[in-house]
Structure 1
Amino acid sequence: MNNNKEIVDRLRERIPTFKCTPGCHDCCGPVTTSSEEMSRLPVKTDAEHEAALDQYNCVHLGPNGCKVYDERPLICRVFGTTPNMPCPNGCRPEEMIDTKIERHIHHYIKNTRQVLV
């Protein structure tokens, strides 16, 4: 049986990537993520979380975009790769995410304890 680290790593490998519109952070609002993914992110203070939430932003969003891009949660990686979560600017990968992989991601999210990033 796979542990959550292996599951997250395997799912990440199967999410297509694409180039975003420079300066756009429309998908960088507050999100929830698994404890496994949270353990990969820098710890933020309550004040930092409150300030981000006041702006409806992710606590890891900086002036130049995502400060944890390489470790961003699965839900962030899925934005723009599926018709279910389209990019508001029409950006997308050449091939959208495989629906089976998308279902696996949502199954993982549904079946793990989610915490606010």
Structure 2
Amino acid sequence: MTSTSQQIRFFRSRIPAFACQPGCHDCCGPVTTSSEEMSRLPVKSAAEHQAALEALSCPHLGEHGCEVYAERPLICRLFGTTPRLACPNGCRPETMVDPEIEAGIYLFFHENRQVLV
């Protein structure tokens, strides 16, 4: 049986990286993530969560961008790497995520409890 942590590592290693448009945070809206990934993120206060939700933002988006970039959830990593989650500015990796990997990630989302970041 593969653990949730192993699944997350597997998917992370197969999502291609690419350079975003500097200063853009269009994909940093309210998102959900697995409880496992959420446990890796710094705890934010209820007020911080509420302010981010009201701004349609992420509580981990700071003045200089994502404050948890190294631990950002799978959904955040997936943005811009698939036509289903295309970057509104046209940024993308040279090779998009493999459709089978994408399907596996969506199955992971379905099978694992998701919480609001």
TM-score normalised by length of structure 1: 0.99
Superposed counterparts of 1:13-52, under 5 Å: 13-52=13-52
For the residues of structure 2 that align with 1:64 and 1:54, how far apart are their CA atoms?
A: 20
SS in 1 for 2:94: coil
> Percent identical across equivalent pairs?
63
Name the aligned partner's letter for residue 55 of structure 1. A
SS in 1 for 2:83: coil
SS in 2 for 1:10: helix
User: What's 1:102 paired with?
Assistant: 102
Quick check: which one's helix share is greater?
A: 2
User: What's 1:10 paired with?
Assistant: 10
Q: CA deviation at 1:54?
A: 1.0
Number of aligned positions between the proteins: 117
**Runs (4+) of structure 1 moved beyond 2 Å?**
none
Gaps of 5+ in 1: none
2:74 is the alignment partner of 1:74: yes
Gaps of 5+ in 2: none
